[in-house]
Structures are given as C-alpha cells and as structure tokens.
Amino acid sequence: MTVMSYLGAIGAAQREAMEADPRVIIMGEDVEANVYGTMGGGKSRADKGDFLQMFGASRIRNTPISEEVMVGAAAGAAMTGLRPIVDLSYSSFLYMAMDQFVNQVAKNRYMFGGQASLPVVFRSAMFFGLNTGAHHSDRPYPMFMNVPGLKIMVPATPTDAKGLLRTAVDMDDPVLSFEACILWGLKEEVEDGEFKIPFGVARTHRQGTDVTIVGISTGVHAALQAAQKLEAEGISAEVIDPRTMVPLDSEAILTSVAKTGRLVIVDPAHTTCSAAAEISAIVAEKAFDCLKAPIMRVTTPDTQIPFSPAIEKQLYPDAAKTIAAVKRAMESRRRAA
C-alpha cells in the first residue's frame, strides 16, 4: 500500500493504462503542461519531462481550445482503434460538445448495429465549493445519466478514482468521469500496482442498522462524518457509495434499505432530476413496503452558484444537514394505509 492523493491516483491509473496498452493516448487542452493529474500523477511540472519522454508526443496530444473538437476527434480515434483519455478540464465545458456527446458518442455504437465501439474516457473536474462562480461550478452527472449509451463514474476516494479509471480505459463504451476537485488533495493508502474496480458495484463504507445513507461524490464524506456523530447518539447508519451512476448498483441500495427501513441520499447536484431523485424513485417503486419513514434527500438548491464564498458554502450538503435529515427520518412514521 502507498499513501496517495486523489489526484495522484488518477495520474497513476493513466500511467499504468498507457504502459499496459500502446493504444491508450491522452488528449486535451494544454495536456503537456497541466498538473490536473494527466502529467505524472499530480506531481510538479518538473516531472512532465519524464512522462513525455516515456510515451512521446504522439500519445500525449494537445488539442485546440474547443471541446467539440476534442470530443469529436476522440470519438473518431476510438472508432478506429485507439483508446483516448480526454481531459476536458471543468465539467461545465462538457456543454460545449453536447451534440457530439449525445448524437455521436452515445449513439454511434447503436447506429452502426454494434459494429463500432467507442473505448474513450472523458475526464472532467467539478469545481464546486471553490468560489468559481456559476459558469464553473456545475455538477452535471445527473444530466448525462439521461443519455443512453454513456457510462458514468463519480469517484469519491483515491482508491476508487484509480480502480474505476483503470476499468474505464479498458471498456469498449464511452465513460464520463466526474471528479470533484475539492477532493484532489484527499489522501489514503492505495493498493500498489495495477488493480481495477468493476462498474455497477457499490461500496459499503460503513455497516449500520437504523438508516441507510447513500452518498455521491463529496456526499460520501458528509455521510461518513454524519454517521460517526450519529453513532455517539445511538443511531447506527449504513453508508453506501454507488461509485458509478451508470450502471447503478440499485440492488445494494435496496438490500440496505430492506435492513434499515430508512433512506437518506446525500447528493451535491441540484435537487430537481438529480441522482438522488432517481435513487428515490427506484426505492419507492421496489422497496416501498420496507420503508419506515419518507425518503430524505440532502442536495443543493435549484439555484445558480454565487461567487460569494460565504453564500456558496451554505448551499451544499454537509454533515450537519445530513444529521438533520437522518433525525427527521428517525422521528417520522409512514402513515398506515
């Protein structure tokens, strides 16, 4: 095991993928110089030379400042045999290439009757919580959950960031990776060498009996902090991280809810049509009889993100809001039919 940051884990996964398969390339705006984890696992700019020397300019491709060009070129490269990893920087920039994502990347395998594959990973950083304003603070993974043909990962820990990314590179379908940059500096012990985490398999961070808390992205850490404090008050919370939103491990969530009878979902995206809304619907449809209380969602209000640090901080889910939601669930009783 090696202590590794979230960003370092992403860089390590990319290096290992490029070492394992000569078809893997990295594309993006100024990727030769950035330190988003593309070069040397989040190390200093001084390390970029070794990385470039190892793989060469033919496998590390700077692109024009055009998301439509990046996504379209990567799709074409994937269909002709390469396995691109595309660094799209801010997740809000994905909107610039919506036609490419929705009409080309997501649909081409179906439109060609399965004769084409699109083994491409699109990485983007969600810059919420860092006072970057409305244009740079979006958490758009719920929007792309509505597009058939795309797989979506939202890693919350260094281990999951590394293992899921290695799996994503080897898949024959397009994958969107949404990485909360507020987690970049998070460190933990990560397994040495190459390992892969399958998509569609949730991670249970903590066992519990009174309430299920499903956390997404930074919501995982809010849930874990809340669970620790709730334990001191005699409330046992089970914390689950789906890790991938498409495919979603609904069975793990349903099994947990069947045990606890209560569900709280902590999702930093906006409330309406969120991942939390989809999970709520699944549980309401398939495990309604197991519920002892209404499902609670802890999300970000349906408002644009302000520049003001003081105002922005209050919008997102945190441990205090999660604890309050759990206590409401513990005190509620579903009305008898």
Tell me which residue has tokens 């005190």.
331
Q: Give the three-state DSSP class for 337.
A: coil
Identify the H or E element spanning 320: helix 319-331
pLDDT at residue 56 greater than cutoff 50: yes
* Residue 180 CA: distances (Å) to CA of 75, 128, 269, 324: 24, 7, 11, 24
pLDDT (tens digit per residue) in 127-176:
999 999 999 999 999 999 999 999 999 999 999 999 999 999 999 999 99
Query: DSSP character for 101?
Result: I
Where, residue-wise, is CATH 3.40.50.970 in the chain? 2-190
Where, residue-wise, is CATH 3.40.50.920 in the chain? 203-331
Query: Among 18-27, 46-55, 65-74, 249-258, which stretch is predicted with the lowest mean pLDDT?
Result: 46-55
Question: Rounded mean pLDDT of 312-321?
Answer: 96
The mean pLDDT of the chain is 92
pLDDT (tens digit per residue) in 60-73:
888 999 999 999 99
Active site residue 221: no
The two tokens of residue 227 are 């669970």
Query: Among 26-35, 100-109, 154-163, 195-204, which stretch is predicted with the lowest mean pLDDT?
Result: 26-35
Write down the pLDDT at residue 287.
97
Q: Which CATH architecture has domain 2-190?
A: 3-Layer(aba) Sandwich (3.40)
Q: Is CATH 3.40.50.920 correct for 203-331?
A: yes
Return the higher-pLDDT residue of 333 and 4.
4
pLDDT (tens digit per residue) in 256-282:
999 999 999 999 999 999 999 999 999
Write down the pLDDT at residue 305.
95
Write down the pLDDT at residue 336.
41
Q: For residues 31 and 63, give the distance between their C-alpha atoms in angstroms, rounded to a whole number.
A: 8
The two tokens of residue 202 are 């949730």
Kindly indicate the confidence band of residue 229, based on its pLDDT and cuts at 50, 70 and 90: very high
Q: Give the three-state DSSP class for 222.
A: helix
Q: Of the listed 136, 205, 221, 270, which one is catalytic?
A: 136
Q: For residues 323 and 312, give the distance between their C-alpha atoms in angstroms, rounded to a whole number.
A: 20
Integer-rounded Cα radius of gyration of the chain: 20
Question: Rounded mean pLDDT of 234-256?
Answer: 98
Kindly indicate the confidence band of residue 44, based on its pLDDT and cuts at 50, 70 and 90: very low
Non-local (6+) Cβ contacts of 199 within 8 A are 151, 153, 164, 167, 168, 171, 243, 244, 247
pLDDT at residue 49 greater than cutoff 60: no
Cβ atoms 4, 12 nearer than 8 A: yes
Top mean pLDDT of 42-56, 85-99, 322-336 is at 85-99
pLDDT at residue 298 greater than cutoff 90: yes
Which of 257, 252, 241, 235 lies closest to 325 in space, CA to CA?
235
Write down the pLDDT at residue 303.
96
Kindly indicate the confidence band of residue 29, based on its pLDDT and cuts at 50, 70 and 90: confident
Write down the pLDDT at residue 150.
98
Question: Rounded mean pLDDT of 208-215?
Answer: 98
